Amino acid sequence: MARMKFLCDADRCIECNACVTACKNENEVPWGINRRRVVTINDGHPGERSLSVACMHCSDAPCIAVCPVNCIYQTAEGVVLHNKDLCIGCGYCFYACPFGAPQYPQLGNFGSRGKMDKCTFCGGGPEPDNSEAEYKKYGSNRLALGKLPLCAEMCSTKALLAGDGNQVSAIYRERIVARGFGTGAWGWGKAYPGGGT
Amino acid sequence: MKRPLKGLSVLALALVAAASLSACRESELGRPISLEKGTYQGPRDQPLSQATLKALRERTAGQNYSGN
């Protein structure tokens, strides 16, 4: 199996924010944290485009390279996960990430913050699959149940695709051929340089 | 009168030293204590079964429907 990837088709995204809501609900993401968000460029002008952005689970993830406590790792399927027991909330990964994916819950006044939180591709964490501890720390583990991330599964226009990178790119390629135009899959060049399979 | 005090303070020091050195091993702390740059050494996910991977592939293929 090729690595797991996200792809947001900017020509299909209608900025409904259902992916954001689905993610927050499925994973019971705490207040102040958005693992996924919809970004709109040229808002209200010709050429307006919206993109659903979260951790892209990069093939050569810069967050892994900069983490001083080595709490971030990749699974066999290429999903980038982290261990909250090891995370010290330093924020290096946030500065390294080209997509602004890592988030930090505010713990108290004066900017004190907690452990990093980010999209897990609905893959949970290092705790036993679908255990209470895993759900509490990382949210739902849909991958272990044979299900894709809920944000992609419930996207009404199928703008947000997730799954095996080869299959996802095949679906997108088919769309581009049918449309007769295409500007490339947003973020793929940065997240998966050279294909990243 | 001075001798028992000295003995007690030595004993207290020894106890403090023993307490500060205990539970410093990796197994007792429950987390890796040696760092190798860029290498995750904590517990990992259980690998997905072939049946789960097949189900994931089917779901991925299901995201394709007609229309551009």
Q: What percent of chain A has pLDDT over 70?
A: 97
**CA B43 to chain CA mean position, Å:** 7
Which pLDDT value is given to residue B1? 55
Read off the pLDDT of residues A28-80 as tens digits, 9 standing for 90 and up: 998 889 999 999 999 999 989 999 999 999 999 999 999 999 999 999 999 99
Q: A167 contacts in B (CB within 8 Å)?
A: 57, 60-61
Where do runs of H (alpha helix) occur along A113-164?
Answer: 132-138, 150-153
Q: Mark yes or no for CB contact B43/A69 under 8 Å.
A: no
Tell me if the pTM is above 0.90. no
**How far apart, in whole angstroms, are the C-alpha atoms of residue B40 and residue A174?**
38
Whole-angstrom distance, CA of residue B38 vs CA of residue A45: 44
Query: Among A28-42, A127-141, B10-24, which stretch is predicted with the lowest mean pLDDT?
Result: B10-24
Pairwise CB contact (< 8 Å): B45 & A69: no
User: Distance between CA atoms of A120 and A116, rounded to whole angstroms?
Assistant: 12
Interface membership of B60 toward A (CB under 8 Å): yes
Residue with tokens 């019971």: A28
- Taking residues A101-117, report their average pLDDT: 86
H or E segment and range at residue B28 = helix B26-29
**E strand residue ranges, A130-188:** 160-164
| Nearest chain A CA: its distance from B26 CA (Å) | 13
Q: Which of B40, B45, B52 sits opposite A72 (nearest CB)?
A: B40
Q: Which of B29, B36, B48, B53 to mutate to probe the A interface, most A CBs <10 Å?
A: B48
Confidence of residue B66 (pLDDT cuts 50, 70, 90): low
Closest-CA distance of chain A to residue B9, Å: 37
In this structure, the number of other CB atoms found within 10 A of the CB of residue A118 comes to 26
Could you tell me how far CA A177 lies from the centroid of its own chain? Answer: 26
pLDDT confidence band for A95 (50 / 70 / 90): very high
Question: Could you tell me the fold of the domain covering A4-183?
Answer: Alpha-Beta Plaits (3.30.70)
Q: Which residues of chain B make contact with A86, given a CB cutoff of 8 A?
A: 31-32, 42
Contact B41 A175 (CB under 8 A): no
The model's pLDDT over B26-50, given as tens digits with 9 standing for 90+, comes to 777 777 777 788 788 888 888 899 9
Residues of B in contact with A144 (CB under 8 A): 46, 48, 52
Q: Report yes or no: B50 at the A interface, CB cutoff 8 Å.
A: no
ipTM of the complex: 0.86
What are the domain boundaries of chain A?
Answer: 4-183
